Structure formats: C-alpha cells, structure tokens
C-alpha cells in the first residue's frame, strides 16, 4: 500500500517475481480490473510501460526469470495526474516515454535491481506525493456520483436508468472515455466481473447459488461468455475447487 495520503489516487504498488529460474517461459495473464498501471522490470528500468483500461484479458509471455514492479492507479487517477486521455491507452500497453516522458525518465534514473521492496515503496511515495500536491484534479461530482452508484451496485446497473446524476448520457460517455478509458457500460461490466472474483465462489456454489443472477447476468451462458472474455478461461476452470 502507498502512504495514507496517496491511497485515494494509487490502489497499490505491486511486484511480480520469480524466486528461481523456471524451466520454461512464464505466461502471465492480466485480467480486466478497470485500472491503469505503470510497470517495468527492476533490472531493466529504462524499458518501462503503461497499460491502459482493459476490456478483455491480456497475456504476456515472460522469460524464465523476471522481477517486475508496478503502480496500479485507481480509476480516473492516471488521467487526472498526468493529463492523459485514457481512451488513447484502452486495451493496450505503450512505452511510458511516449506517454509521460518525465515519469519514464524518473523510473530510468532512480530504480535498479539492488533496491529492496521497502526502498521501492519509499521512492514511489516521495515521487507521487510531490506530483499529487501539484496536480489540479477535476473532481466532477457527476462523474464520481456515477462511479459511486456503479460500485455500490457491483456493476449491475442499467446505464440509461440508474445513472441520473445531472448530466446527459452523451456527456457522461465523454467523461468516462477520457478519465476511465471506455464507455460507462463497459466499465460497469468490468466492475460486475470483479465483484464475482472478490466473492471467491467455488464452481459448485456458482451452479447452486446462481450468484451471476444477483449481479445482473441474464443467464448462465451470458455470464460464462463475459467471464471468459475478461479472465481468459471459463468460471468453472477459474474456480475449480
């Protein structure tokens, strides 16, 4: 976790590391979560990236030894902090130097493989504390009221009926595309998918309790198709216990 003053902007700092050399390359699957991430390999920090809002799973083939470090921003915060249109990053990753050159240069000049996790966290905290203090955030209450409703309903909302926040559907779509990266409907689907993951159901409880009905899926086939799009495998394989 970042320091307390940054927790409204940054969801977490993360590490993906192999403890030993693997016998074969590792296929890393990123599932849709509604966030934007900065990431880089600690031994090669000059090669740093940003990954935008994902509306489907993405797989990265990694080497058989790796140590990645990342920063996961809460929805809307990366565009707010760096004045970037999130829709330009939707469902893809890009060299950070092409998007936020100053952040890329900071990572290149500061990080190296000898740093401990505690030192990495402190370094990030110091950097983002200054950025946040100098940023001009657009706290549009209509956008954040819509987000509040979506999260409260675990994504199971009717976009046209449930999100009456004093703004037209066209304006709301424009705000979501700029600050989130995609439409209100797509973001709501990702939130709904993530609510299923957080509940950690077993494949048996999914069949018996019909959890997918509770969050607005029409039927099991609809649920399975959407889950596989966001996760990469069926719910049965993901919750095989």
In tens, the pLDDT along 54-75 reads 888 888 889 899 999 999 999 9
Residue 241's pLDDT is what?
53
Q: Quick one: which of 174, 67, 54 has its CA closest to 120?
A: 67
Residue 227's pLDDT is what?
86
CATH 1.10.10.60 residue spans of the chain: 141-238
Non-local (6+) Cβ contacts of 66 within 8 A are 16, 17, 18, 26, 41
pLDDT, one tens digit per residue, over 184-224 is 999 999 998 898 888 766 666 666 656 666 666 777 788 88
Instruction: Return phi, psi of residue 210, to 5°.
Output: 50, 50
Residue 214's pLDDT is what?
63
Residue identified by tokens 């004045």 is 83
Residue 4's pLDDT is what?
96
At 171, list the tokens. Answer: 């304006």
Question: Which residues sit opposite 49 in a β-bridge?
Answer: 39, 95
Residue 83's pLDDT is what?
94
Say if domain 141-238 classifies as CATH 1.10.10.60. Answer: yes
- pTM for this prediction: 0.89
Residue 206's pLDDT is what?
63
Yes or no: say if 52 and 62 are a contact pair by the CB < 8 Å rule.
Answer: no
Average pLDDT by consecutive 10-residue portion of the chain (241 residues)?
A: 96 95 89 93 96 90 93 96 95 94 98 96 97 90 91 85 81 93 93 83 62 68 86 82 53
Query: What is the bridge-based pairing of β-strands 10-17 and 36-41?
Result: unpaired
Yes or no: say if 123 and 110 are a contact pair by the CB < 8 Å rule.
Answer: yes
């Amino acid at each position: 976790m970042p320091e307390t003053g940054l927790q409204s902007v940054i969801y977490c700092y993360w590490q993906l590391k192999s403890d030993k050399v693997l016998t074969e390359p590792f296929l890393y699957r990123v599932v849709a979560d509604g966030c934007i991430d900065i990431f880089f390999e600690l031994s090669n920090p000059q090669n740093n990236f940003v990954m935008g809002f994902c509306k489907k799973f993405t797989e990265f083939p990694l080497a058989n030894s790796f140590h990645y470090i990342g920063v996961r921003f809460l929805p809307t915060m990366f565009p707010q902090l760096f004045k970037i249109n999130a829709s330009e990053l939707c469902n893809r990753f890009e060299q950070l130097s092409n998007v936020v050159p100053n952040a890329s240069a900071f990572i290149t000049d500061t990080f190296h493989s000898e740093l401990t996790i505690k030192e990495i966290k402190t370094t990030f905290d110091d950097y983002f504390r200054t950025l946040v203090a100098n940023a001009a955030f657009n706290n549009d209450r209509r956008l954040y009221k819509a987000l509040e409703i979506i999260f409260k309903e675990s994504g199971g909302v009717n976009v046209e009926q449930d999100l009456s926040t004093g703004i037209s559907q066209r304006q709301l779509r424009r705000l979501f595309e700029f600050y989130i990266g995609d439409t209100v409907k797509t973001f709501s689907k990702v939130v709904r998918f993530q609510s299923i993951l957080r509940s950690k159901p077993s494949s048996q409880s999914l069949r018996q309790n019909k959890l997918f009905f509770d969050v607005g899926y029409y039927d099991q086939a609809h649920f399975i198709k959407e889950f596989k799009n966001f996760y990469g495998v069926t719910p049965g394989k993901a919750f095989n216990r």
